[in-house]
Amino acid sequence: MTGDSPQRDGTPGLRPDRPAAASDQPARPGLHSLTAGRGMLFGGDYNPEQWPEEVWVEDVALMRAAHVNLVTVGVFSWARIEPEPGTRDFGWLDRVLDLLHDGGIAVDLATPTASPPPWLGHRWPETLPVDESGHRLYYGARNQWCPSSPIYRERALALVTDLADRYADHPALAMWHVGNEYGQVCHCDDTAAAFRGWLRERYGDLATLNEAWGTTFWSQHYGQWDEILTPRRAPYLRNPTQMLDFQRFCSDALLAHYRAERDILRRRTPSVPVTTNFMGFFKPVDYWAWAPHEDVVANDWYPFPGDPRSPVRAALTHDLMRGLAGGGPWMLLEQATDGVNWQKHNLPKPAGQFRLESLQAVARGADGLCYFQWRASRFGAERYHAAMVPHAGADTRLHTRVREHGAELRRLAPLVGQPVPARVALVHDWQSWWACESDGRPSDRLLVTDQLLRFYEPLWRRGVTVDLVPPGAELSGYRLVVVPNLFLLSDATAESLTSYVRDGGVLLVGPFSGVADPLGHIHTGRFPAPLREVLGASGEAWLPVADDPPLRCRWIADAEQRGDADAPAGTVPDPSPTGVEFTATIWSELMRAESARPVATFLDGDLAGAPAVLRNEFGTGRAWYLATVPQEAAMVALTDRVLADAAVTGVLPDLPDGVEAVRRGDTLFLLNHGAGPARVTLTEPAGELLTGDRVEGP
């Protein structure tokens, strides 16, 4: 290998706010309780309520042949269990669980609260969600419930209680799956009342709220609590702090509901882990706030076939899941074997693609690889969605591949629980994401997830493994910390970044960071005010860039930077392999170097001569600031320089285009996302884990 030995053991406390198990409380069971004795988890969503019982028997036989060891059951079975208000029909579910258990298949049993039966909305329309225009959304699809509805809550919790009582001791029960893909938003009166309650908690009195929301602007002053609404549709731009607080409230309200269900389950089955399925970088829900309440971090991941950036997006998302799991293992709870049904033009996956995607997740810390769904539905809105058993049945190319994949995952059992070491951290914050992308900002082209990807991709290309961390995380174990965008920056986070650099770390900060406080109010003074000292630079104007004419920048050679024109040529590597100029896109800032040195400057227009990239020596570390969005090749050049500054190298040098390299435990994964074969030179001989073949070194 490259001498890239991990500095940390890969299981660091990435999350300082993750509640440590108090000594008088038993430790919570985690993914290990499922993988112990089973190895990698393999399976999918199983919806037997859509099929006659004879099919169940065939299902279990096919699952066994495919090495399936875990299925998620009952996600959408509320109406089947409770066909009339207050009734219970568990007989069918008893038989399903017994059959699965007899087949040696464990069950991730869902609370079926994501889709209430029509009777709930029919009798109690106030349980149905209301959109921001005040229109009710009806039953006939799914997710038609209001997170703040007391009636929904009462009915859901009664059902969860009975489900938990019924199956607490069932030997098939291995994990609880609460609801499904939490993300509902409602603007009804119940929600407005709950929002006001949340605001009272946060601000105490109206005067404080008025100040926080800046209601002297546009005559928005609130004189009574009852005047406060959720941010419903309005004639023009809405109050950004009201919007931000509503996003915080919505995430909290959903979490409160999840926790209410979870607590019922935990009380009855303290040794059974509880999870719900995340959706990657899903904007409405702050997963950093949720993750400490999960026993297992689980994700649903649906890459778009045909998107050349899919592998990079996947890697970034998997790294987020590992971060949410505190550096430990996590699982893919849903993915697709082939095309989905919910895009306009659902491209299929090339042969072997789903296997590659699954292995990529393993490489990045997943111990479970499950699919939506086991058997393709004949009816309903998802009848064109891929499955593990397609409509054509088991005698198909696709199902054969599913079986082969199930078999090969058995051979990856030694990887279970293995860490994925990283020396680079990438900071992401949901609250800042919400605040940054508010209406009425300088440019809606500067998007937080795009920025994450722009900073992440060059690292991925170099085979540099990255941990995703929340603001305020412990950073001392990392050699490089990358902050693509932290628009909203608290003093505490600014201080933690500053002391990280002071103590020898290397920091790279992207544009439009450190702009606002946690209320979304702009910091006054030259920006980024809270980071000015560590960056040794400051700015005074955000300047979105026109598409035409191009705004050029130029790298400055190191000798020039030092003001040492006589430095011997060749001692300073050209920072840009593509030439000395690059194009700035989308965004620019009028900056001034203070103690920092410009590494690149703008060449055109009003910005001519002003710094575009800056590097500051601070304490025993270095801080870099990027005041624009450079084209891709320049991002690679910049990343190479910053990596050199931090003395970080990838797990393997000279990776061909499209080849992803990442190490998990002692295993080096080389994943070829390209269309043709690729040649990679190993730095030492190795054994191939799946085939047992010997592979030669250089």
Task: Write the CB contacts of 310 (distance below 8 Å, at least 6 apart in sequence).
Answer: 303, 304
Indicate which of ligand GAL, Zn ion, none lies near residue 34 (CB less than 5 to 8 Å, by partner kind). none
Least distance from ligand GAL to the Cβ atom of residue 298, Å = 11
Question: Residues 674, 677, 680, 684: is their CA dihedral positive or negative?
Answer: positive
Check residue 185 for interaction with Zn ion (CB under 5 A): no
Q: Which helix (H) or strand (E) holds 96?
A: helix 91-102
Instruction: Work out the burial of residue 685: count CB atoms within 10 Å of its CB; fewer than 13 is exposed, 13-18 middle, 19 or more buried.
Output: exposed
* # residues near ligand GAL by CB under 6 A: 9
Q: Which helix (H) or strand (E) holds 551?
A: strand 551-555
| Rounded CA separation 387/389 (Å) | 5
- The window from 188-196, 262-270, 302-310, 339-347 that contacts Zn ion (CB under 5 A) reads 188-196
Indicate which of ligand GAL, Zn ion, none lies near residue 191 (CB less than 5 to 8 Å, by partner kind). Zn ion
Q: Which helix (H) or strand (E) holds 176?
A: strand 173-178
Please identify, using beta-carbon distances, which residue of 46 and 195 lies nearer to Zn ion. 195
Is 421 in contact with 663 (CB distance < 8 Å)? Answer: yes
Please identify, using beta-carbon distances, which residue of 112 and 630 lies nearer to ligand GAL. 112
Please identify, using beta-carbon distances, which residue of 373 and 432 lies nearer to ligand GAL. 373
Task: Write the CB contacts of 240 (distance below 8 Å, at least 6 apart in sequence).
Answer: 435, 438, 439, 440, 520
Indicate which of ligand GAL, Zn ion, none lies near residue 146 (CB less than 5 to 8 Å, by partner kind). Zn ion
Least distance from ligand GAL to the Cβ atom of residue 638, Å = 36
Interface with ligand GAL (CB under 6 A), residue from 4, 59, 82, 181: 181
Indicate which of ligand GAL, Zn ion, none lies near residue 188 (CB less than 5 to 8 Å, by partner kind). Zn ion
| Rounded CA separation 326/424 (Å) | 15
Q: What are the residue numbers of the active site?
A: 181, 334
Please identify, using beta-carbon distances, which residue of 138 and 384 lies nearer to ligand GAL. 384
CA 495, 499, 504 angle in degrees (round to 5)?
Answer: 155
Site residues (CB under 6 A) for ligand GAL, limited to 379-398: 382, 385
Site residues (CB under 6 A) for ligand GAL, limited to 278-307: 300, 302
| Rounded CA separation 150/193 (Å) | 12
Least distance from Zn ion to the Cβ atom of residue 619, Å = 51
DSSP secondary structure code for residue 530 in this structure: G
Least distance from Zn ion to the Cβ atom of residue 684, Å = 60
Check residue 192 for interaction with Zn ion (CB under 5 A): no
Indicate which of ligand GAL, Zn ion, none lies near residue 225 (CB less than 5 to 8 Å, by partner kind). none
Indicate which of Zn ion, ligand GAL, none lies near residue 386 (CB less than 5 to 8 Å, by partner kind). none
Percent composition of the chain: helix, strand, coil (DSSP 3-state, to 5): 35, 20, 50
Binding mask 139-178 for Zn ion (x = CB under 5 A): -------x--------------------------------
- What are the phi and psi torsion angles at 694 (to 5°)? -90, 135
Torsion angle of the four alpha carbons 379, 380, 383, 388, in this order, in degrees rounded to the nearest 10: -90
Please identify, using beta-carbon distances, which residue of 180 and 639 lies nearer to ligand GAL. 180
Interface with Zn ion (CB under 5 A), residue from 186, 296, 469, 614: 186
Helices (H), 438-572: 448-461, 491-502, 532-535, 558-562
Interface with ligand GAL (CB under 6 A), residue from 334, 338, 367, 660: 334
The closest alpha carbon to 295, from 675, 21, 553, 4, belongs to: 21
Residues near ligand GAL, by CB under 6 A: 180-181, 300, 302, 334, 340, 372, 382, 385
For Zn ion, the binding residues (CB under 5 A) are 146, 186, 188, 190-191
